[in-house]
Chains A and B, each alone.
Chain A
Amino acid sequence: MSALLELRDVVVDYAPHNGRARAVDGVSLDVAHGETLALVGESGSGKTSLARAILRLVRTASGTIRFDGADVLALSGSGLRQFRRRAQVVFQDPKASLDPRMRVGDVVREGIDIHALAPRSEADRRVERLLQEVGLSAADAERFPHEFSGGERQRIAIARALAVEPEFLVLDEAVSALDVLVRQQVLDLLASLQAARALTYLFIAHDLAVVERIATRVAVMQHGRIVECAATATLFAAPSSGAAQALLAAIPRIPW
């Protein structure tokens, strides 16, 4: 099966006032249709920069990014708009990613309107179904983000991402800010949505314990490079890179 996403030698540079910082240093990676690829690494290893480059939220200095065969870096106009619909993102902190002045229904609905995916009356019903699909109720459409708990807000962010019928979701530390119980509920939700909608996930995390529960494969990043990429069970059983070993060693060892 061909890959949904193919990265070749992707480089991302930032230009701080005192020179140049290379955040992503030649990353090549494939993400297959329907899999969950976890991208792990310490803070500052380049995970988020790479994700943003894939979504074209930051400039890629060199390299190629192909999504479903198309050259993402060459997209413009309607092609780019279509790509933005198909590739969605859920950020770490829903408090920051949801507009506090918009009702939840409007938050979820905005993408449907922008991409003209449904007429007015149909859009309202779609929003209700989406809220129910992520475990909220249709009546929640009338409420504001601050009326929800952290876990519920993350469900809203997921509903917003799903509203435009994407195939690919970047989950950037999407469960890191949640407590362990709520985290498990959101992970369960993500797994059932993936099965129901044939979604492909790029799951970014610094915590390998979470990754073990959801990922098909794991790519380990360090200093802007992928230093190891393996099936989840393989990586946990026999990590070959120092970076993976350090991350595994950092999981609190519970004396069961």
Chain B
Amino acid sequence: MNPLLSVEGLHVDAAGARGAAPRPVLRDVSFALQPGATVGLLGASGSGKTSLALAVLGLLPPALTARGRVFFEGLELLAASRGARRLLRGRRLSMVFQEPLTALNPRMRVGAQVAEVARAHGERESRRAMRDAVVMMARVGLAEADVQAYRFPHELSGGERQRVLIAMALLLDPALLIADEPTSALDVTVQAQVLALLRAQQRERGMALLLVSHDLGVIATTCERTLVLHDGSIVEDVPTRQLLAAPEHSQARALVAAVRPVGRSA
């Protein structure tokens, strides 16, 4: 089976300030994702997790430059035109970000923001776009979706806002969902609900999921395989069970120890 996503020798560099040498953010990162796979990307703050997600999405800020190759459904994304990438994003390749309040437009009703995804990908009938948006919002567990769709982001709770973003990401049935710390801004009980939703949607759709987090607890309950990122390099790429049982790299051991129950050693 051909991989859905294949990252080969990806480097990302941050431009140096005032003529200083560029600083490496990602160093020679390679991995592949099969259709329907659930893979966690685990690393501490500053390890390069978010840069990796943004590089795959083609959303790196101007100060960061990517080298290497990123194949998605056969298309090499780093060489592809902006238009070609835009055609994929939101349709075949979707994302959910950490902080739903900053990811949503504060002046636009949430239903219209979900519908906008369909409109951006060619749906001309605005009523149909809105209807599809409401159906999707209901499917991701937003209570009274037909009413909530007409609310503004600030009128929803953090968990409800994250459901809106997930509805937006899933609307066009993507082959890959990249979720960057989707629950870090949420309280633990809401986090559990959102993770359950992501798992259920991933299974139901056979969609691949790349879940980015610093918290192995979040990844271990959701992903079959885990990549550990440390200082811009992938230091482990193993089944999650194996990582839990026998982490090899020192950084992986530290991340495992940080979530191991008290009084329980490796």
Q: In this complex, which of B221, B258, B262 has the most chain A Cβ atoms within 10 angstroms of its Cβ?
A: B258
B45, A209: Cβ atoms closer than 8 Å: no
A249, B259: Cβ atoms closer than 8 Å: no
A254, B220: Cβ atoms closer than 8 Å: yes
A180, B189: Cβ atoms closer than 8 Å: no
CB neighbours (8 Å) of B110 from chain A are none
Closest to B245 in A: A256
Whether, in the assembled complex, B191 has its beta carbon less than 8 Å from a beta carbon of chain A, the answer is yes
A42, B218: Cβ atoms closer than 8 Å: no
Whether, in the assembled complex, B244 has its beta carbon less than 8 Å from a beta carbon of chain A, the answer is yes
B189, A254: Cβ atoms closer than 8 Å: no
Cα distance, A181 to B191, chains bound together (Å):
20
Residues 143-192 of B contacting A (Cβ, < 8 Å)? 158, 187-192
Whether, in the assembled complex, B142 has its beta carbon less than 8 Å from a beta carbon of chain A, the answer is no
Whether, in the assembled complex, A213 has its beta carbon less than 8 Å from a beta carbon of chain B, the answer is yes
Residues 236-254 of A contacting B (Cβ, < 8 Å)? 246-247, 249-254
Residues 28-81 of B contacting A (Cβ, < 8 Å)? 44-46
Closest to B257 in A: A184
Binary contact track B184-215/A, C-beta < 8 Å → 1, others 0: 00011111100100000000000000000011
CB neighbours (8 Å) of B44 from chain A are 179-182
Residues 101-146 of A contacting B (Cβ, < 8 Å)? none
Closest to B159 in A: A43
**Which of B45, B192, B241 is close to A255, meaning CB atoms less than 8 Å apart?**
B241
Whether, in the assembled complex, A5 has its beta carbon less than 8 Å from a beta carbon of chain B, the answer is no
Given contacts A183-B258, A184-B258, A256-B244, contact A208 B188 (CB under 8 A): yes
User: How many B residues have CB within 8 A of the partner chain?
Assistant: 30
Q: B189: shortest Cβ distance to chain A, in Å? A: 4
Given contacts A246-B189, A247-B188, contact A149 B45 (CB under 8 A): yes
B45, A150: Cβ atoms closer than 8 Å: yes
B215, A247: Cβ atoms closer than 8 Å: no
Whether, in the assembled complex, B26 has its beta carbon less than 8 Å from a beta carbon of chain A, the answer is no
Cα distance, A239 to B130, chains bound together (Å):
45
CB neighbours (8 Å) of B218 from chain A are 252
Given contacts A42-B187, A181-B44, A182-B44, contact A252 B262 (CB under 8 A): no
B189, A42: Cβ atoms closer than 8 Å: yes
Closest to A184 in B: B258
Q: Kindly list the 9 A-B residue pairs having the minimum CB-CB distance in the complex, ordered from nearest.
A: A252-B217, A180-B258, A179-B214, A250-B192, A250-B188, A254-B220, A43-B187, A179-B45, A250-B189
Binding site for B on A (CB under 8 A): 42-43, 149-150, 179-184, 206-209, 212-213, 246-247, 249-256
Binding site for A on B (CB under 8 A): 44-46, 158, 187-192, 195, 214-218, 220-221, 241, 244-245, 254-255, 257-262, 264
With A213-B262, A250-B191, A251-B188 known, 5 other A-B pairs at CB within 8 A are A180-B215, A206-B187, A209-B259, A252-B221, A255-B241
